[in-house]
Amino acid sequence: MYLYQDNKEVFNVTDSVTGIWDKMAGWVDKLILNLPNFILAILVMIFFVFIAKLVVKFVRRLMRKSNASSSIIDISVSFVKIIIIAVGFFIALGVLDLNKVLTSVLAGAGVVGLAIGLALQGTLHNTFSGIILSFRSELEVGDWIESNDFAGEVQEVNLRNVVIKQSDNNLVIIPNIKIVENPFKNLSSTSRSRVILDCRVGYESDLEEVEKITLHVIENIFDQKENEKVEFAYTKFGKSSIKFVVRFWTDVSKQRDILFAKHKAILAIRKSFNENSIQIPFPIKTLDFGKNKLSSETIHINSKTDSDSSKEE
């Protein structure tokens, strides 16, 4: 490439072009020689992708027969697919006789994985929490849950978060780690639930009669099954009323069921109390300004004097 003339280095274009051509010719030769292996590697990848699709369908069908939740099925299928394709990738590298490259890839993947793990600790926590949630029967898509001061129907459980739809139709995304580390209530896990309703009556009321009427009203509206009953108890002497609580069982799968159960109970109790002249008082505040704090004045008008002065005018 370089010639020396008078102890000076001179660039030779012909030699440079010849060198580049030789390298390209060597690459073409290697490509032709390795073309069968390259085609075989592609066929291996296509084969493993096809196998992954078949296995995924089989696993999905098998898990559906076992009544597994949709979130468990999706995550399990994703893992199976990734593992099969990864095996096919490594076999394709072996077919290309890239063992050194394979070793480098594995070593690099280990270093990169460590770096990513340190940088994404929170994300990995959510990922592992998502795996845990997916295999827990206490939380499934369609359930109504209360957690982290939010309540709604579970729309999705993925590897990062849980998506719930609130009663106002807004979506709330809660990180999986928050669900795993904090308590949550699942209203859909049981078909029946106890509804607690607070109420009060005036001090002039017959308390035994109030209890009898309330129990009769609730028992007529809500059927109580075996080992279930309506419970009534006075709880407190208030400033203007006596407070009581009534508890009864009803079918509940979401917060809306509790809301309208209370609605029906309040309408029926209020109607029955009116029919029986039972008052539900409300707090009354009396403002006392004190007897000695106000003074009155008496104004005397001399009508005669006023009339005389008017005449003079």
Residue 66 reports pLDDT greater than 80: no
| Residue that terminates a domain, selected from 119, 147, 163 | 119
Could you tell me if 177 and 266 lie in one domain?
A: no
What's the CATH code of the domain at 140?
Answer: 2.30.30.60
Q: Is residue 281 part of a domain?
A: no
Could you tell me if 170 and 214 lie in one domain?
A: no
Could you tell me if 47 and 114 lie in one domain?
A: yes
Q: Is residue 114 part of a domain?
A: yes
What is the pLDDT at residue 2?
A: 47
pLDDT-derived band at 299 (thresholds 50, 70, 90) equals: very low
Q: Is residue 310 part of a domain?
A: no
Q: Is residue 306 part of a domain?
A: no
What is the pLDDT at residue 233?
A: 96
pLDDT-derived band at 305 (thresholds 50, 70, 90) equals: very low
What's the CATH code of the domain at 265?
Answer: 3.30.70.100
pLDDT-derived band at 237 (thresholds 50, 70, 90) equals: very high
Could you tell me if 148 and 85 lie in one domain?
A: no
| Residue that terminates a domain, selected from 119, 148, 165 | 119
Could you tell me if 182 and 208 lie in one domain?
A: no
Cα 48 from Cα 89, distance rounded (Å): 8
The listed range with the strongest mean pLDDT (16-30, 92-106, 115-129, 158-172) is: 158-172
Q: Is residue 10 part of a domain?
A: no
Could you tell me if 110 and 45 lie in one domain?
A: yes
Q: Count of CB atoms within 10 A of residue 37's CB?
A: 15
Could you tell me if 99 and 155 lie in one domain?
A: no
What's the CATH code of the domain at 34?
Answer: 1.10.287.1260
Cα 15 from Cα 27, distance rounded (Å): 18
What is the pLDDT at residue 119?
A: 47
pLDDT-derived band at 298 (thresholds 50, 70, 90) equals: very low
Give the residue-averaged pLDDT of 92-98. 73
Domain region containing 269: 192-275
Dihedral of alpha carbons 113, 115, 120, 121, sign: positive
| Residue that terminates a domain, selected from 68, 88, 119 | 119
Residue 213 reports pLDDT greater than 90: yes
Q: Is residue 143 part of a domain?
A: yes
Q: Give the range among 24-28, 189-193, 271-275 with minimum mean pLDDT.
A: 24-28
Could you tell me if 32 and 108 lie in one domain?
A: yes
What is the pLDDT at residue 309?
A: 40
Strands 144-147 and 8-11: unpaired
Q: Is residue 296 part of a domain?
A: no
What is the pLDDT at residue 275?
A: 93
Could you tell me if 109 and 71 lie in one domain?
A: yes
Could you tell me if 233 and 145 lie in one domain?
A: no
Cα 202 from Cα 280, distance rounded (Å): 6
Q: Is residue 8 part of a domain?
A: no
Cα 155 from Cα 61, distance rounded (Å): 22
For the chain, how many structural domains are there in total? 3
Mean pLDDT score across all residues of the chain: 77
What is the pLDDT at residue 89?
A: 82
Could you tell me if 168 and 211 lie in one domain?
A: no
Question: In b/e form, how buried is each residue of 151-183, taking b as 16+ CB within 10 angstroms?
Answer: bbbbebbbbbbbbbeeeeeeebebbbbbbbeee
Could you tell me if 140 and 210 lie in one domain?
A: no
